[in-house]
Every structure is written in structure tokens, then in C-alpha cells.
């Protein structure tokens, strides 16, 4: 008896949730259910089929359909497996429906062009089955099923011969009738050849040892990348790091002799180009008839063209006459045949050349091309190395577009070495393939594991591991944007772990880029380099020495920079060891190859090179140290510790190199390095030594050898989770508080990641997530628990508990976010979020719960209803506002949303609700013609000035190109009774209509006559910023700086004068005058600071500051002058004396304290100042009690002495005296506390 499940491929399709349906059908094999499905095959053919053939074909087709249904529900709709299983009974009913069987069966009819997805969708509803998720796409499902059945027809031995006869007959008949094409223009054979040649993903250049990926279909793995249009193709725009622009400006040298500023402009213009899908560009034939697709090696240029060819080859056969025929020409092959005199042009190449997948009659092809019925793709212009021959190919391509002007043409090339002018002259537009973004990377990883793993648990485990490995390493994330390297990661991840095993990834990646990439393509670039003598291992050795040399430069590894002469010397020296003739000439050729073919080096201009990926600089540098340590043994473990780790542990640009070294040497040596790092005092460096030691430990696969050292390190890090800096009795400032928080949270995170396999770590995290007194420690512990132990049965319950009972709202919010991230597919989470969003006592927690609910379950129709309810009935304003925002952003396409927002914007009693509704309406529906009218009505009629202001702002942004908007803004800038609205209208007029002559006139008027200082202030500011080059603007600003009766307006005027006209000789005099005579200290004080900064090098500035520090009547101005003197002139011999004099002579305590603090800062620990601080701490006349707002200068003096002179012989006696005799109790207590520290 036949095992139908095996024959249908169900046994191999592990993870098929709907397998029970097929099991039931297998039991009913004796019945005629399969005939009902295959009735779509024409009668004459159907009659010749055996029952077994029918059962096999129908079963396989249904298996494909069920797999695609499952993929829609799981991948597109994000349903958990439990919810998917609930559809099993409904789907069984569905496929039993007559209209469904008829529709599925039509896929077997070769005259059918496509299936009607509407029939399937209507049938689902007609049978009254459980509703499918909103994102379920019947059209996509039907199209994919149709393609799968077409493949099935080609592969089925029983069906193939009969169907092929009919196909050939139909094709021959149709083509003769329509185009008069003779038999040797065989499109069926051509389709088959394309599928055979390009159907499978090509992994020849990658090491796939241990698993067969040969059946991995390209069309199932292809991800359409994004592109940016390139208007100026300059290689250095795409390979030039920003940090080297300064060097270019200084030397004025780049490869194409373009100024650095112009180069930066080209780069900016390129990055401003919109990103779009490459398929959108290709499919828009009218706009983009001639295209050049540029990209890096492995970026997917060839795969794109192969996918386009396969798309045609998988189309229904009756469509092939109406669809453009893809002609994919690999230019390296074409040029070889051309050189061998096998052909003279592209048509002859297809007609008769060896190596062509299927010959196509050139005369018939000519007719098709004349009719524009082709898509011609020239792959690999860069692979034609000889410059003369490359020019010949470009000439051939240009001639081809002239001969066949109706044909769409695509050319691909690497960007390095590409010269665009000739093809640009031929009206080709250029596009650069972009790296895969994070979403595309995730899509690739998901597809890869779905198609290459049969064991469900192993699939999920390896998929999540690869996700974590990429996210955990910035270097790996950068490489993952390249499809070739991402594929390599997926292969490597099967048996190795990233990022721990990343050194092996880098090794394989460098091997592919340096050798196998071009060997597989049979490319040899230059006869001066014998590829049999110089292999990829030699290139790796040379790059190790290059990277090692770069780390010894002035900028070290941070620079990623090497002179071409130094690079040439290193390569030539190595080539001499291989006894290469003319090694210096060979080195120059090698440099070019490493740049143009191997994608390792890039040219920066100004005679400098760099590694394209910093990752490879770090890897080769680390490898060279390891090579010297292990292979040549010229580097001892002591030198490795002292000279490599010892010199660089504080430099984070070196950390990746140090970690790679740790990952490539034996564990016992890593133990010695950890012991060395632990021995260092790293408190001044935020304990970076201990955190680096933990990262080194994480590189060790077998820790048993160094377990005692690992345990010691763990104890030290656990102590850091409770870190307290040495108590000097001073209150911690914000910077110190932030430092403590950073150290504690980093310690928690480090323990969680480095010891995640230990049974004690989860217990440790749960404990501190519950009992630690600091909220930030609790939330980082919660975050790590959720991320690392989400598969643990107790973690979800623990997170729920923390989300409800923790006393700190930020901690509860973190728990909510982590719950959703880890368990959103669990059925109870949605209910939990809804309850939390209603009942939690803290509005921030409720808002977070509501936001997470929308983010995770926006396709659930109940979520929208819940938001509508919260937006209108919640008692908390913040909740209502957040609900409105979420509605507008998530459900703007729902007709009810706009209606509700307009109702809130007009009728809600709370002005802040009306404001946010107006804002969201403008942003979500600005394309709707009625919104402009609605905003204008709100900008005039709403009783709240805040709502009117928001409406004015949104109008200006959404409709500035509307002629009526300017007039409306002008009216609001003068007529509205609120200064808030007038101010906004003035600002938006200036931004949107700067070039309009009326705008400046209105600003001048508002800056002078408006009765609100806030409006005048804004008008002055906009005049200065938008019309600074007008001759009368400076005069107007000076007039406002003196004549306006409001100090804020005067301040804006002088500030704008200083910013825009500081080099004008009159400005300095004017600013000094206003800093002296203005009657408001809030003008004089900031002006003193401006004068000090703007005219520091002016000889009169120091005199001016000293005069203000003494003569100004306001202590704030005197204080500012003292600060600026100390900052700008600390190196002047008399500044110290002047500060001492102000610290004792000024009659205001704040000036005296400031002068003393500036002394301590500028002249730290100078012995001659001790007596001054000593006397000050006793004699300053401050009366009152010290606190944070009004600090006692005597207490401040004591703090300075304790910090800067702890060993001075008079420090202890002074503290004893102050502890007993200071009139301020706070000072006495401070002195007493310090004495106890000393004596303790």
C-alpha cells in the first residue's frame, strides 16, 4: 500500500500544522476527492492519467496550499501556533467546497493565466468560517500557490511528458500565429533552462560543509533590496569616511581632484535621495528604461537579474508572448566568446555561442527586440578588466539601445572603478543598492531557517541565536547588511555561535572576498600576479601586517588610516619573501586588486587608504598578534599582557581587538589576562578593566580551566551592583549620580550576559529586580531576565508581578514592555495589558500598557474600540491624549477615526484634548481638502489661544504652498488677541515666506508696534536670522537693543547682533556699552559672557571684565565677569591675584564664593593658595546657614581644602577648629564628619 504522506512530501515538511488534514485525505485515497481538484486539466489529457497520478498531483498541490496558508497566518499575521491550529477544522471544510476545488484545480490548466483570489475569499465567508486576521492576503496566497503548482507540473514524472506535449503544441501554434516565430525559438525550453540555471541559490563560493543547500530556491529567498538614485557617480562619495574630510580640506587632494567641500555636497545630495525598492524602479519601465545598478561585491546585483529572469520563467506559458523576454548576458562570458570570434554582437551570442543556456534564433529575436518585447540585462561590467575591452562593451551596449529603442536595459557593475559618463550620455540612470536594513535582515533569517531546518525546536533555537548574535555586535550588524556575508553567517550559525565565534566568520568572509569570490567566477585580473603563487592566504598575511602597522600609527586603530607609500612598502616586503619579480610593481597591482576586486581597502584621497570595514582592520590586527604569539612565538604571554592589554585596556577603540585575541588563544592564557586585568585599579576609569575582563571571559568556550578566576571576577562584579563611591561628605552632583548608575547597571548587565548559563544568575537577577533600593538597578535586571530567560516557565509570571507591584512606575513600565516583547503571542498578555491600562494607579504605566497593546495587537478590531473608549471616557488627561495619538497614527485609514478626532477637536471641554486632536488631524489627513478649512476655522474660532496657535502652526506646515495660507497667517499675526498666536504666526511667516517682500515689512512692524514683548522678541529674532545680509537689519537691531522698553527684547537684539555681526568693528563697542549701561542685569550679565567669548583675544576685553567684576551694581553681573575672567585669562599672571582680591573684597557672598571656586578650579592644589583658603574658611563674613541653594562660602572653602590638600599639616587642626567654632551648625557638622573619616 502506498504511503501517501511520504509521496506528497508531508513527512519531510516538519512543522506543517495542518498535517491532520492530509492524514485524513490519505485515509480516503480510495475515494475520488482528487479527481474533483484535477478537473481543471483539459479532458483529453485528464483521460490519459492514472488514478495514482491524479492522487499524487492533487495531494502535492494541497500540501503546498496548506503550507502557504500556514505561512500567511504565522509570518504575515504573526499568529502563535496555538491560534493557527484552531483553523484546522475550518480549512478542511474550506477545501471541500466545490468552488474552492474548482479554483485550485485551474492551476493545472496550462491555458490559465492566473487564479481568481476573490472566489477563494468569498468562499471562506460563504461557508461562514472563523474570521481571518486583517493582514491575511488572499491575492498573494493565490499567486504563490499558482507558481508552486506550475513547478509541480514540471517536476512530476507522471504529468510532465503529457503536459509538455500540449505545452509545445500550444506554444508552437500561438507563436506561429502571432509572431511567425520558427521552431528553434523555443520559449518553453528557454524557460526550463532559466529555471535549471538560476533556480537554486548559488552558494558555490561559501563553505557549506555538513549540510546540502543545493535545493534552496532563489525565488523563495530573494529579498528586494532598496536603492538610491546616484546623480554623480564618484566612488569616494560611497567609500569616504567623514573623519577624513578634514585631511582632504588641508591637502586639497582627492582622486578626481574634487574639493572636499564639493565632495561632501555630493555625498549629502546622494543621502538625500529617496530610498525605494529596486523592483519598483525596474517595473516603472516608462520612467526608468535604461538603468545601471551599482553595488559592492556580494550586494545582490547578479541575484537581482537572475530573479527577474526566473520571474518570467515561472510565469504561465500562455503569458510568455505578452511578457518581455528576459535576456541575461554575463559580460565576462560574452567578451570571451567575442575574443574567440564566436560572435560579433549580442544577438549572435544567443544564436550560436557555446555556454549559452539555450540558443535563440537571432532573426526571430531581432523581431522581438524591435517590438520591445524583451528585458535585456548585462551583468558584471566591472568583470571586463581590460579598459579597452570595457569601452568596447559599453559601445556595444550603447549601439544596442540605439538599434532597439523600445527595449528596457539593465547594466550591473561594482561602483569602484566604474566610470559613468558614457552610459549617462546614453540616458542611463544610476542606482546604488543599499545594505539590507534590519527588517530585511530579519526577513532573510526567518526564510532561511524555515527552508533549511526540519526540526522545529532546532529551527527556532538557531534562528533566535543568529538574531541575538547580529544584534549583540555592531561589527557583525554592519557586515549583515551585505547579502553574501549574511548568507555566510546563516551557514556558520548552524554549528557555531555568534558573536563568540565571529573570528571564524571574519576568517571565512576574508577568504571568500580575497579568493573564492573571483575564482568561482573564473576571474583573473592581472597577468602580473600569478594567482597560483599568491593565494588568499598570502593576501590574509599581508593584510595582517597592514593592520598591525596601522595600530602603531599616531591615531592607532581609531584612525583606520595608512599612507599609500607605507602600504606599498609592507606589501612589497612580503612579496619579496615569495621571490616575486619586481615586487614594488606587484605591490601596486595588489593594492588595486585589494580595492577594486576584494572589497578590503578603500582609497580616501590625499594618498591615504583605509579598510572598507573597520571589522577587518580589527580582525587582522588581532590575528597578527595571535600569529606572533602562537605561530612564530615571538610574543610571550607577559608581553601580551603588559604591552598589548596593559597599554590599551583603557582605550575602547582597542577593545574589539583585545576580545578577538582572547577568542583565538587557549583558555589558560585568557585566565592569566583576566587575572592581570583584575589586578588593575580601574575606579578612575569606571571599572572598565573588570568589564573588559568579563568580555574576555565570554570569549572562552571552556571555562572549567579558569573557573576560580571566573568566580573571583563574578564576586567583584556583584559588588559593583552595589557600588558606592568613597564618601567625602559632599553631596553628589548630577554627573556623579549618573556615574554610579552607569556602573551599577553595567555590572548587572555584564553578569547577566556573561554568566547566563549559570543556574544562579536567574536567581540573582530576580532578587535584585525585587529588593534593590534603586529603580534603575531593578529595571535593568528585569530587562535582562526577559531577554535571556524568556523560555523559562517562571519568567512571565515574575514580569507580571513586577509590572503590578513594584513601587516605581518606571520599573513597572519596563516590565510591561519586556512582557510584550517576549510573550506577545501568549493569549493572556492582551487581557493583562487591557486591565493594566484601565486599573493601574499610575497614568504613565497605564499609557505604556495601552501603547504596547496597540503595538502588539493593532490588527485586533477590539484594540481600536478600546482606544476610542480611552480617548473619550478615561478620567486621566494624559491617557486620553495618548489614546488620540495612537488612534491617529494606527487607524487613520478607518473612517471613524477622522470623525472622532474632528468631534474632539471642536466639542471637547478640555483645551489640551482639542489641541492634540487638531495636531493629529493635520498630520494624518493633510491630503484631505476639508482639513485645511477645518484648521482655519479652529485657528480663529477656538476659545483657547493654545489650540488656535497649534492650528496656525499646522496650517503653515501642511499648506505653505497654498496661496491663501500666507494671507491667513498675516491676518493672524496682527488680528488675534493672543500674543501666543501672533508670535507663532510671525515665526511661521518668516520660515515659509522669507523670499516674499511683504514678510520683512510685517516683521519690522511687529518688532516695533506689537504690544506684546513676546511677539516683538520673535519678530526681532526672525528678522536677524532671515535677513542678516540686508544692510538695514544691523541698524534696526541696534535700535531695538536700546529703545525697546522690555529687557527680553533688548537681549534678543544684542544676542543676534553678536552672532551675526561680531566681526563688525562697531559691534564690539556697542556690546560693551550695552553690557555697561543697560538698566537690566539680565541683559548685562549674558552680554558680559558674550563679550568674553567673542573677543577673548582683544586686549581690552580683560580690562573690561575686571572693571565689570568690580563696578557693576548687580552681584549676578559681577559673578559672571569673575567666571569669564578665570576661564579666558587663567594663564595671565595677575588673574590669580585679582580672583583672591574679589574673593575677599566683594560685599556679596555669591561673588566671593564664585571667585574662590574659580581659583580652586584654575589653580588646583597650588601650595601657595592653602593659606588663602585657610583664612577664608575662618574669616568669610557670611551670615546664615549653609544649604544647597545658598551655600556657605566657608563650607565651600573647607571642601576645597579637604579635596585638594588632604595631606597638609594644617588641614586636621583646621577641621577641629571649625567643628567647634564655626557659627554655622551645617559647617560644624561637615567638619565633624570629615574628622571622623580621617580618624576612622
| Residue 699 DSSP one-character state | T
Q: What is the mean pLDDT of residues 478-504?
A: 82
Asked if residue 173 and residue 306 are part of one domain, the reply reads no
Q: What is the pLDDT of residue 785?
A: 95
Asked if residue 448 and residue 414 are part of one domain, the reply reads no
Q: Are 100 and 94 in contact (CB under 8 A)?
A: yes
Asked if residue 79 and residue 212 are part of one domain, the reply reads no
Q: Is a pLDDT exceeding 70 seen at residue 309?
A: yes
CA distance 792 to 1105: 67
Place of cell 580621617: 1238
Confirm whether 288 is domain-assigned: yes
**DSSP E strands, 290-351:** 290-295, 325-330
Q: Are 671 and 706 in contact (CB under 8 A)?
A: yes
- Which of 145, 178, 211 terminates a domain? The answer is 178
Confirm whether 425 is domain-assigned: yes
Domain range for 63: 4-178
Question: Residue 201 — very low, low, confident or very high, per pLDDT cuts 50/70/90?
Answer: confident
Query: Which residues, at least 6 apart from 637, have a Cβ–Cβ distance to it below 8 Å?
Result: 629, 669, 672
Q: What is the pLDDT of residue 322?
A: 72
Place of cell 516683538: 1016
CA distance 693 to 674: 5
Place of cell 588581532: 622
Grid cell locating 227: 536603492
In 473-563, which ranges are continuous DSSP H helix? 474-480, 483-492, 502-511, 517-520, 536-550, 556-559
Q: Is a pLDDT exceeding 90 seen at residue 765?
A: yes
Query: Which residues, at least 6 apart from 797, have a Cβ–Cβ distance to it below 8 Å?
Result: none
Count how many Cα atoms sit within 13 Å of the Cα of residue 30 in the half-sphere of its side chain: 2
Asked if residue 1183 and residue 1054 are part of one domain, the reply reads no
Q: Is a pLDDT exceeding 70 seen at residue 236?
A: no
Q: What is the pLDDT of residue 750?
A: 96
Taking the CB of residue 98, how many other CB atoms lie within 10 A of it?
9
Q: What is the pLDDT of residue 1061?
A: 93
Q: Is a pLDDT exceeding 80 seen at residue 170?
A: no
Q: Are 433 and 295 in contact (CB under 8 A)?
A: yes
Asked if residue 339 and residue 292 are part of one domain, the reply reads yes
Q: Is a pLDDT exceeding 70 seen at residue 852?
A: yes
Confirm whether 1142 is domain-assigned: yes
Q: What is the pLDDT of residue 909?
A: 93
Peptide bond before residue 442 is cis, with ω within 30 degrees of 0: no
Strand bridging mode 325-330 / 374-379: parallel
Confirm whether 462 is domain-assigned: yes
Asked if residue 464 and residue 377 are part of one domain, the reply reads no
Grid cell locating 306: 537572475
Confirm whether 842 is domain-assigned: no
pLDDT in tens, 560-615: 788 889 999 999 999 998 888 888 888 888 888 888 777 788 777 667 788 877 78
Q: What is the pLDDT of residue 352?
A: 81
Q: What is the mean pLDDT of residues 113-135?
A: 81
Q: Are 776 and 747 in contact (CB under 8 A)?
A: no
**Least confident among 218-232, 943-957, 966-980:** 218-232
Q: Is a pLDDT exceeding 60 seen at residue 498?
A: yes
Confirm whether 784 is domain-assigned: no
- Which of 458, 490, 516 terminates a domain? The answer is 516
Q: What is the mean pLDDT of residues 810-836?
A: 94
Residue 351 sits at φ, ψ, to 5 deg, of -75, -40
Asked if residue 138 and residue 20 are part of one domain, the reply reads yes
pLDDT in tens, 444-467: 999 888 888 888 888 888 898 898
Asked if residue 414 and residue 295 are part of one domain, the reply reads yes
In the chain, the N- to C-terminal Cα span, in Å, equals 91
Q: What is the mean pLDDT of residues 416-434?
A: 87
- Which of 1061, 1082, 1099 terminates a domain? The answer is 1061
Asked if residue 110 and residue 54 are part of one domain, the reply reads yes
Burial classification of residue 388, based on how many CB atoms lie within 10 Å of its CB (0-12 exposed, 13-18 middle, 19 or more buried):
exposed
Asked if residue 440 and residue 321 are part of one domain, the reply reads no
Burial 649-670 (b: 16+ CB within 10 A, else e): bbeebbbbbbbbbbbbbebebb
Strand bridging mode 429-433 / 562-563: unpaired
Confirm whether 1191 is domain-assigned: yes
Q: Residue 309 sits in a domain of what CATH number?
A: 3.40.50.300
Q: Is a pLDDT exceeding 60 seen at residue 249?
A: no
Q: What is the pLDDT of residue 741?
A: 93
Query: Which residues, at least 6 apart from 944, have a Cβ–Cβ distance to it below 8 Å?
Result: 911, 914, 915
Distances (CA, A) of 195 to 155, 191, 283, 361, 460: 12, 6, 21, 20, 31
Confirm whether 448 is domain-assigned: yes
| Residue 289 DSSP one-character state | S
Grid cell locating 525: 585580473
Q: How many domains does the chain have?
A: 5
Asked if residue 205 and residue 153 are part of one domain, the reply reads no
If one compares 170 and 1081, the residue with the highest pLDDT of the two is 1081
For the chain, the farthest-separated pair of C-alpha atoms sits apart, in whole angstroms, at 117
Report residue 229 CA to chain centroid gap: 20
Q: Is a pLDDT exceeding 90 seen at residue 298?
A: no
Nearest 5°: CA angle at 538, between 535 and 543? Answer: 130
The pLDDT mean for the chain works out to 85
Q: Is a pLDDT exceeding 60 seen at residue 256?
A: no
Question: Residue 835 — very low, low, confident or very high, per pLDDT cuts 50/70/90?
Answer: very high
Asked if residue 479 and residue 463 are part of one domain, the reply reads yes
Amino acid at each position: 500500500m502506498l504511503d501517501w504522506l511520504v509521496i506528497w512530501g508531508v513527512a519531510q515538511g516538519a512543522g506543517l500544522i495542518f498535517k491532520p488534514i492530509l492524514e485524513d485525505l490519505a485515509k480516503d485515497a480510495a475515494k475520488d476527492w482528487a479527481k474533483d481538484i484535477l478537473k481543471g486539466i483539459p479532458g483529453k489529457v485528464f483521460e490519459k492519467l492514472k488514478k495514482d497520478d491524479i492522487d499524487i498531483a492533487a495531494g502535492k498541490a494541497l500540501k503546498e496550499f496548506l503550507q502557504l496558508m500556514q505561512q500567511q497566518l504565522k509570518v504575515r499575521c504573526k499568529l502563535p501556533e496555538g491560534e493557527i491550529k484552531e483553523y484546522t477544522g475550518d480549512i478542511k471544510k474550506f477545501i471541500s467546497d466545490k468552488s474552492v476545488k474548482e479554483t485550485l484545480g485551474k492551476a493545472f490548466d496550462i491555458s490559465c493565466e492566473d487564479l481568481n483570489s476573490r472566489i477563494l475569499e468569498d468562499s471562506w465567508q460563504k461557508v461562514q468560517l472563523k474570521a481571518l486576521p486583517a493582514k491575511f492576503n488572499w491575492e498573494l496566497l493565490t499567486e504563490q500557490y499558482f507558481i508552486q503548482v506550475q513547478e509541480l507540473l514540471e517536476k512530476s514524472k507522471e504529468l510532465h511528458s503529457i503536459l509538455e506535449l500540449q505545452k509545445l503544441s500550444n506554444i508552437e501554434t500561438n507563436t506561429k500565429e502571432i509572431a511567425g516565430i520558427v521552431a528553434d525559438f523555443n520559449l518553453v525550453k528557454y524557460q526550463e533552462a532559466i529555471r535549471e540555471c538560476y533556480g537554486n541559490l548559488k552558494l558555490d563560493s561559501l563553505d557549506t560543509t555538513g549540510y546540502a543547500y543545493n535545493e534552496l530556491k532563489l525565488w523563495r529567498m530573494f529579498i528586494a533590496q532598496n536603492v538610491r538614485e546616484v546623480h554623480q557617480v564618484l566612488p569616494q562619495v560611497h567609500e569616504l569616511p567623514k573623519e577624513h574630510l578634514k585631511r582632504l580640506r588641508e591637502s586639497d587632494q582627492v582622486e578626481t581632484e574634487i574639493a572636499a567641500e564639493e565632495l561632501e555636497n555630493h555625498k549629502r545630495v546622494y543621502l538625500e535621495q529617496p530610498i525605494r525598492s529596486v523592483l519598483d524602479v525596474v517595473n516603472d519601465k516608462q520612467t526608468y528604461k535604461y538603468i545601471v545598478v551599482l553595488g559592492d561585491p556580494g550586494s545582490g546585483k547578479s541575484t537581482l537579474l537572475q530573479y527577474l529572469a526566473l520571474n518570467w520563467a515561472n510565469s504561465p506559458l500562455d503569458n510568455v508572448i505578452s511578457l518581455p523576454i528576459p535576456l541575461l548576458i554575463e559580460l565576462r562570458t560574452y567578451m570571451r566568446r567575442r575574443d574567440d570570434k564566436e560572435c560579433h554582437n549580442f544577438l549572435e551570442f544567443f544564436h550560436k555561442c557555446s555556454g549559452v543556456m539555450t540558443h535563440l534564433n537571432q532573426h526571430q529575436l531581432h523581431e522581438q527586440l524591435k517590438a520591445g518585447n524583451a528585458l535585456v540585462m548585462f551583468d558584471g561590467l566591472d568583470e571586463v578588466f581590460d579598459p579597452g575591452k570595457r569601452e568596447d562593451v559599453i559601445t556595444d551596449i550603447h549601439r544596442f539601445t540605439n538599434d532597439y529603442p523600445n527595449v528596457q536595459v539593465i547594466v550591473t557593475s561594482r561602483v569602484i572603478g566604474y566610470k559613468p559618463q558614457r552610459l549617462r550620455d546614453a540616458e542611463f540612470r544610476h542606482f546604488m543598492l543599499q545594505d539590507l536594513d534590519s527588517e530585511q535582515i530579519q526577513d532573510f533569517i526567518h526564510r532561511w531557517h524555515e527552508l533549511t531546518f526540519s526540526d522545529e525546536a532546532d529551527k527556532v533555537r538557531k534562528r533566535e541565536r543568529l538574531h541575538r548574535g547580529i544584534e549583540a555586535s555592531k561589527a557583525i550588524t554592519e557586515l549583515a547588511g551585505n547579502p553574501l556575508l549574511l548568507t555566510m553567517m546563516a551557514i556558520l550559525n548552524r554549528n557555531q555561535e555568534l558573536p563568540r565565534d565571529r573570528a571564524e566568520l571574519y576568517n571565512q568572509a576574508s577568504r571568500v572576498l580575497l579568493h573564492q569570490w573571483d575564482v568561482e567566477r573564473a576571474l583573473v585580473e592581472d597577468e602580473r600576479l600569478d594567482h597560483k603563487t599568491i593565494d588568499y592566504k598570502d593576501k590574509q598575511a599581508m593584510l595582517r601586517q597592514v593592520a598591525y602597522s596601522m595600530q602603531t600609527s599616531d591615531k592607532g586603530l581609531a584612525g583606520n588610516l595608512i599612507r599609500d607609500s607605507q602600504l606599498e612598502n609592507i606589501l612589497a616586503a612580503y612579496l619579496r619573501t615569495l621571490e616575486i619579480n619586481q615586487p614594488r610593481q606587484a605591490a601596486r597591482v595588489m593594492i588595486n586588486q585589494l580595492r577594486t576586486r576584494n572589497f578590503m581597502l578603500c582609497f580616501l584621497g590625499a594618498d591615504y587608504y583605509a579598510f572598507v570595514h573597520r571589522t577587518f582592520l580589527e580582525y587582522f590586527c588581532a590575528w597578527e598578534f595571535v600569529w606572533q604569539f602562537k605561530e612564530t612565538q615571538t610574543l610571550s604571554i607577559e608581553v601580551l599582557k603588559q604591552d598589548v592589554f596593559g597599554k590599551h585596556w583603557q582605550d575602547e577603540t582597542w577593545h574589539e581587538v583585545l576580545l578577538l585575541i582572547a577568542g583565538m588563544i587557549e583558555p589558560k592564557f585568557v585566565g592569566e589576562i583576566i587575572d592581570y586585568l583584575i589586578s588593575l585599579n580601574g575606579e578612575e576609569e569606571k571599572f572598565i578593566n573588570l568589564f573588559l575582563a568579563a568580555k574576555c571571559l565570554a570569549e572562552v568556550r571552556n571555562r572549567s580551566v579558569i573557573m576560580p578566576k571566573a568566580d573571583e571576577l563574578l564576586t567583584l562584579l556583584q559588588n559593583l551592583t552595589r557600588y558606592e563611591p568613597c564618601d567625602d561628605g559632599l553631596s553628589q552632583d548630577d554627573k556623579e549620580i549618573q556615574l554610579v548608575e552607569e556602573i551599577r547597571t553595567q555590572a548587572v548587565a555584564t553578569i547577566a550576559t556573561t554568566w547566563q548559563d549559570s543556574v544562579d544568575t536567574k536567581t540573582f537577577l530576580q532578587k535584585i529586580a525585587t529588593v534593590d533600593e534603586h529603580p534603575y538597578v531593578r529595571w535593568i535586571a528585569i530587562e535582562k531576565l526577559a531577554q535571556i530567560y524568556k523560555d523559562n516557565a517562571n519568567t512571565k509570571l515574575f514580569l507580571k508581578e513586577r509590572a503590578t507591584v513594584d513601587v516605581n512606575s518606571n520599573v513597572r513600565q519596563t516590565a510591561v514592555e519586556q512582557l510584550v516583547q517576549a510573550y506577545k503571542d501568549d493569549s493572556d498578555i492582551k487581557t493583562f495589558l487591557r486591565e493594566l491600562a484601565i486599573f493601574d494607579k499610575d497614568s504613565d504605566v497605564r499609557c505604556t500598557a495601552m501603547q504596547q497593546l496597540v503595538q502588539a495587537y493593532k490588527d485586533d478590531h477590539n484594540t481600536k474600540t478600546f482606544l476610542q473608549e480611552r480617548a473619550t471616557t478615561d478620567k486621566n488627561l494624559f491617557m486620553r491624549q495618548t489614546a488620540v495619538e495612537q488612534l491617529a497614527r494606527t487607524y487613520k485609514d478607518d473612517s471613524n477615526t477622522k470623525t472622532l478626532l474632528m468631534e474632539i477637536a471642536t466639542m471637547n471641554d478640555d483645551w489640551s484634548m482639542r489641541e492634540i486632536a487638531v495636531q493629529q488631524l493635520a498630520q494624518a489627513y493633510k491630503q484631505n481638502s476639508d482639513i485645511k478649512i477645518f484648521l482655519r476655522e479652529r485657528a480663529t474660532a477656538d476659545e483657547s489661544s493654545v489650540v488656535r496657535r497649534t492650528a496656525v502652526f499646522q496650517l503653515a506646515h501642511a499648506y505653505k504652498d497654498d496661496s491663501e495660507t500666507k494671507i491667513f497667517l498675516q491676518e493672524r499675526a496682527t488680528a488675534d488677541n493672543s500674543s501666543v498666536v501672533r508670535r507663532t504666526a510671525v515665526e511661521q511667516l518668516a520660515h515659509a515666506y522669507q523670499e516674499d517682500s511683504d514678510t520683512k515689512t510685517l516683521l519690522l512692524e511687529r518688532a516695533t508696534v506689537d504690544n506684546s514683548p513676546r511677539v516683538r522678541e520673535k519678530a526681532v529674532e526672525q528678522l536677524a536670522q532671515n535677513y542678516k545680509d540686508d544692510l538695514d537689519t544691523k541698524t534696526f537691531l541696534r535700535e531695538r537693543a536700546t529703545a525697546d522698553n522690555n529687557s527680553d527684547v533688548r537681549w534678543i537684539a544684542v544676542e543676534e547682533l553678536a552672532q551675526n555681526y561680531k566681526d563688525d568693528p562697531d559691534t564690539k563697542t556697542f556690546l560693551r556699552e550695552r553690557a555697561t549701561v543697560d538698566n537690566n542685569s539680565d541683559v548685562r550679565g549674558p552680554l558680559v559672557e558674550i563679550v568674553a567669548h567673542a573677543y577673548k583675544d582683544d586686549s581690552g576685553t580683560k580690562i573690561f571684565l575686571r572693571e565689570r567684576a568690580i563696578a557693576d551694581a548687580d552681584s549676578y553681573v559681577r559673578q559672571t565677569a569673575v567666571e569669564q575672567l578665570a576661564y579666558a585669562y587663567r594663564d595671565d599672571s595677575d588673574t590669580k591675584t585679582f580672583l583672591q582680591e574679589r574673593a575677599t573684597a566683594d560685599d556679596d557672598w555669591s561673588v566671593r564664593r564664585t571667585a574662590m571656586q574659580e581659583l580652586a578650579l584654575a589653580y588646583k592644589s597650588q601650595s601657595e593658595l592653602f593659606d588663602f583658603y585657610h583664612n577664608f574658611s575662618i574669616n568669610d563674613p557670611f551670615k546664615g546657614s549653609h544649604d544647597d541653594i545658598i551655600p556657605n562660602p566657608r563650607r565651600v572653602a573647607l571642601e576645597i581644602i579637604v579635596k585638594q590638600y588632604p595631606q597638609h599639616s594644617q588641614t586636621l587642626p583646621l577641621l577641629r577648629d571649625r567643628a567647634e567654632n564655626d557659627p554655622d551648625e551645617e559647617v560644624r557638622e561637615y567638619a565633624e564628619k570629615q574628622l571622623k573619616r580621617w580618624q576612622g
